[in-house]
Amino acid sequence: MQVKIHSVQFKADQKLESFIEDKLVKLNGFYDQIMGSEVFLKLENTNEPKNKIAEIRLSIPGNDLFAKKQSKTFEEATDQAIEALRRQIHKHKDRVK
C-alpha cells in the first residue's frame, strides 16, 4: 500500500511518519484491497490543547474512506482516525458481501 503523508505548515519528523505508516499497514490485515492512503496533518491556530488534526483518506475499489480526528497529539489523532477507518472497512466489507 502506498502511503502519502502531507504535513501542512510544519515539518513532520521521521518518527511520526514511521508511526503513521506502521498503523496504516496494519489496516491491510482487515482488508487487503486497499490501494493507497493519504494523510494530512494540520495544526489549528487556537489556544486549545486539542489543536492537532489528522485526516486520512483510504483508496479502495469503488469508494474512498475518510476519517478526520482532532486531539492533543498527532499520534492520538491518528489512532482515533485509524480506528474510525477500521470500523468503516468492516461496514464496507459487510455491504459488499
Tens of pLDDT, residue by residue over 48-80, are: 888 999 999 999 988 899 999 999 999 999 999
Average pLDDT over residues 20-31: 91
Reference 41, options 89, 6, 65; nearest CA is 6
pLDDT of the residue at 84: 96
67: enclosing H helix or E strand: strand 63-71
Question: Packing angle between helix 14-26 and helix 74-96, nearest 10 degrees?
Answer: 20
Spatial distance between the Cα atoms of 70 and 41, rounded to a whole number of angstroms = 10
How far, rounded to the nearest angstrom, does the alpha carbon of residue 97 sit from its chain's CA centroid?
A: 25
What would the CATH number be for the domain defined by 2-96? 3.30.160.100
pLDDT of the residue at 68: 97
| Strand bridging mode 36-43 / 2-8 | parallel
Spatial distance between the Cα atoms of 73 and 78, rounded to a whole number of angstroms = 9
The model's pTM:
0.91
Spatial distance between the Cα atoms of 68 and 41, rounded to a whole number of angstroms = 10
